[in-house]
Amino acid sequence: MSMRHFLRLNDLSRDEILTLLHRAIALKALQRQGERYAPCGGRTLAMIFEKSSTRTRVSFEAGMTQLGGHALFLSPRDTQLGRGETIEDTARVLSRMVDMVMIRTFAHSNLERFAACSRVPVINGLSDDHHPCQLLADLMTALEHWGTLAGRTVAFIGDGANNMAHSWMEAATLLDFHLRIGTPDGYLPAPEIMAMAAGRVEIVHDARQAVQGADLVVTDVWTSMGQEEEATARHATLWPFQVNATLMAAAAPDTIFMHCLPAHRGEEVTAEVIDGARSLVWEEAENRLHAQKALMEFLFGLGPVAATHGG
């Protein structure tokens, strides 16, 4: 299989995503059965963190270890990037020494520049525009719960320009479900993402309208890293879009809830919802590990997912 990068969800085809999700479910079962599966012996994953994280670091590092490989944590102070070395030069050097690179950064263009000069697969651990690894975990969780995503309705509540909203939009176009984004005016998704998702995504400016008929309600923090100076204004504007018991009552009784974490209880979601019976947040968080193991296996050209697609 020729080298592939995973910078956004639509870097994979519909069939590849579905096969990868089913593979992630199988890898989860293997781990819970206590079976060792370590096809990545001798391989190294470099993890570059310009934005800090709990779930991204632990899931990638633990996942690579479980696959038999090794993971290196690199912050800006641990590399020459923090002293002005170009992204391109760092990519040229690192990709001669390691077998895969995961980057968690700000500008999505930085990922594209790195990938253009890399000899090894590059994974987007998060950028300001996209969070595709989180979507793999979310979609895996939904698939475990429902068995299929086709025909479902997902409501994303909050900042429509959020990287999670963008990745959910790509997921809707790939996997045949309807996405309704409940967001204030002025918090709309990027125009190019809107154009790509035409026909699959509906934008409304009322949270209650957004959740009506939804099978899944999703939200994210109101203020992402790098937006701290906007926190007060964001809180005031997004307050009517808090996911609380009243809002969930406007959805169907069996509607489920997800949040990519970290959560700010009392802001974008109340404790009653995130800790309630309809929340799948903890399964969703765990599934970062399994989905990313399946992704790394695929990008290395190993295992049944790669074999299905020419590896």
Q: Which of 5, 23, 131, 290 is catalytic?
A: 131
Lookup result for tokens 């060792």: 36
Distance CA 9, CA 165 (A): 12
Distance CA 114, CA 140 (A): 28
Active site residue 220: yes
C-beta of residue 24 within 8 angstroms of C-beta of residue 294: yes
C-beta of residue 237 within 8 angstroms of C-beta of residue 186: yes
Q: Give the three-class secondary structure for 204.
A: strand
What DSSP designation does 309 have?
T
Distance CA 95, CA 129 (A): 24
* Beta partners for residue 224, in sequence order: none
Active site residue 104: yes
> Within a 13 Å sphere around the CA of 311, how many CA atoms are in the beta-carbon half?
16
Active site residue 254: no
Q: Is the peptide bond before 262 cis (omega within 30 degrees of 0)?
A: yes
Q: Which of 5, 8, 234, 288 is catalytic?
A: 288
Distance CA 245, CA 1 (A): 48
* Beta partners for residue 181, in sequence order: 156, 203
Q: Which of 66, 134, 242, 292 is catalytic?
A: 134
Active site residue 40: no
What DSSP designation does 81 have?
G
Active site residue 80: no
Q: Which of 104, 234, 259, 290 is catalytic?
A: 104
Closest-CA residue to 39 (of 307, 289, 300, 308):
300
Q: Which of 133, 215, 260, 290 is catalytic?
A: 260
Q: Which of 99, 128, 129, 220 is catalytic?
A: 220
**Enzyme catalytic residues:** 104, 131, 134, 220, 260, 288
